[in-house]
Structure 1
Amino acid sequence: MAKTVFPQESIYNFLPEQVHTEKPKRKSKFRPVVILKDKPIKNAMKTMGPLKVETPSPDKYLKKHSKEPKLPEIKERCHRMCTAKKPAVPLRSEHPPLGPHSKRNMVKPTTPVPTKSQLASVDSHRGHKALLEPSGLVPKYIKKKCYGEVPEYLQHRSQEVRRAVEEYDKYLEEQMEQSAIRQLSEGERQANLQRLKSTLAELHNEYHRLPVAADTLVRKSRKVQLEAQMKQLESDVGLFERFKTIYIAN
């Protein structure tokens, strides 16, 4: 290291010279173990894939549908299936064999009867269910013999109503015969109509002579009474003018 020289008046000339010593590098006592532990992993990471790879030839390229599973050929399957010879067709004069596979010895397979499921209604979100047959929700009444027929009590009631109507009609006929209704003639009708019109005109004149301010109870009641009488007379006049034939009781 080169020695630095300062001027004579500098204070740095009185300082002792400093000696720089390099410190040794600190090493861990576990360093060899760590090196041995990480060495195979690092060596494995040095290359990508195997070191020696067989290069594919240009003739062996990947073709379409080459990786899909293939079924055996039809000719081979037919050859395997048709190797065993079938027996010849029996003649018309030959009798059928009576062996274990004959039609006489064949037992009909018994099919099990499926169990009929019971109808139920689920009435809660937790799956609680109740049978429909004893609950009354199944319409069993349609299977009755008397289904669709009118009940006896309704028949009796309709008969009683019909009888009451007939009796009332007979009573009205008797009353009509006893009342001896007669028809008004055209002269009587016109006379009654003229009398009603004259009475209506008199009431109109009396109604117009009433004072405008009906401030007392007498005036108010008289006004209401006249209005009611005129309304009734107007309806009677309209009745006589509308109908030409009118019957009255003696």
Structure 2
Amino acid sequence: MSEVFHPRESVYNLITEEKVQTQKPPRYISKFRPMVALEKKLAKDAMRTMGPAKVEVPVPDNYLKKHSKEPKLPEKSQSLKVAHSTCTVKKPAVPTKTERPPMGIHTKRNFIKTTTAVPMKPQPTSVDSNKGHKQCLDNSGLVPKYIKKKDYGEVPEYLQQRNGEKQRAQEEYDKFLKEQKEQGAVKQLSDFERQAVLEGLKKNWDELHHDYQGLSLVINTLSKKARKERLEAAMKQLENDINVFERYKTIYIPNN
């Protein structure tokens, strides 16, 4: 048997429901609609044919003629034509070579000055590149213009002043040595003594150099680093002393 579905029974189903009809608002219509429709109709009616509706029909006599579009020059006025045609004055003839010029007439141009003027010489230049770069010869340094100076070959003043100060210092030093000799405070080393001192300095340098060569290649401690710096300073001092004894032949030492 087929089952029959019965809706759920309720007291509220006995009450009839009123159907509420919703009313839509009237559709919006612009007040300019008739004007727009009229304008559109007029614009369409005006261009229904090919091209504008009313065109000026050309006249048969107004056809395109030959040379009608070429530019034309303005016509000359009648006054210019008359001025050119009425000129009857002739210029004087060119004087011959036998005629003498009139005396006492001054002109704007001085012919004597122009005929006797010296022609301008070209400025000397020097070309210093294969592309044609040139410059004035005086500024190039190739012209020995400095030998034409008045003080050429003279010693400058600052060198004279320096030489004078050096000479005065040497004179004062010689005077001081002379006074020390007279007082017996210093004595001069003989060549034998100077040579003996020089050999002793070199021997000491050889010993220090031998110790320096015996240092280890890897210096990773403070004591090794200090010993290396001490040997280098002693060797530098001995080298300066050796240079002094080899350079100067006359050496003075205090007389103790």
State the TM-score, normalized to the length of structure 2.
0.31
Provide TM-score, normalisation by structure 1: 0.31
